[in-house]
Amino acid sequence: MLFLVLPVTNSVKGLVAKALGDDTAEVQGRITLNPMAHLDLLGSLAIMLVGFGWSKPLPINVNRMKNPRTGVLVLSLTGPLTHYLMAIICMNIAMIIAYTGGSTAVLALCLVLNFLASINICLGTISILPLPNLDGFNILSYFAPPKFHSWYFRNYRQINQWSTYILLGLFFIGPLTNHLIDPLGWLIGLISRLISLTTVWIPLVFG
């Protein structure tokens, strides 16, 4: 699944960065579906073992963009939106296949597509969390007043350290409490249900 998800997302972000004026990702060969150009060993293992992880950082030089501040916002939106769009496509194709075929191979393909959708929903939802180094924080920063930026850069190290603790807490509090307290799981479930609404037309057409 990693060979499909991460290369697509990074390539889309690289293309958007190029459209905004920065061709760094293209020059460094990162606008490609070749997974070896994107995969980070530890990040890939993390996704396979615990459901979240990361790829190699995409090389971006915002100073080369026509409007750096807006460019960061657009790129930050591109990541999660790409994940969600991929999830929508996978869910809809899986549902169509399920309604039009019934062999074992077809059902196996549906499972693969639904698993791909789940991975994309998880990664997209994690990326919108308003924590430093995630897309959600960059989106929040765009709308924040100057005082927020001054506070952040004065306390950069401590804030990033606590961000890591919070993120780890969000990942593990669900399993540790038997999912009685699981805000991240709840958010992923909510977005998954919303995305699944895009398939409501399929039973009407193929049912």
Q: How many other C-beta atoms lie within 10 A of the C-beta of residue 150?
A: 10
Estimate the crossing angle of helix 2-19 against helix 68-100, to 10 degrees.
Answer: 140
- pLDDT given for residue 50 in this prediction: 63
pLDDT in tens, 31-60: 998 877 877 777 667 666 665 666 778 889
- pLDDT given for residue 169 in this prediction: 92
- pLDDT given for residue 52 in this prediction: 62
Instruction: List the alpha helices (DSSP H) in the chain.
Output: 2-19, 24-27, 41-50, 68-100, 104-127, 135-143, 146-154, 156-176, 183-196, 201-206
- pLDDT given for residue 82 in this prediction: 96
Q: How far is it, in rounded angstroms, from Cα 199 to Cα 97?
A: 12
- pLDDT given for residue 150 in this prediction: 92
Per-residue model confidence as pLDDT tens for the chain (207 residues): 566 788 899 899 999 999 999 999 999 988 998 877 877 777 667 666 665 666 778 889 989 998 999 999 999 999 999 999 999 999 999 999 888 876 777 788 899 999 999 989 998 999 999 999 899 999 999 999 999 989 999 999 999 999 989 988 998 898 899 989 999 999 999 999 999 999 999 999 986
Q: How far is it, in rounded angstroms, from Cα 125 to Cα 136?
A: 9
Q: Which amino acid is at 92?
A: N
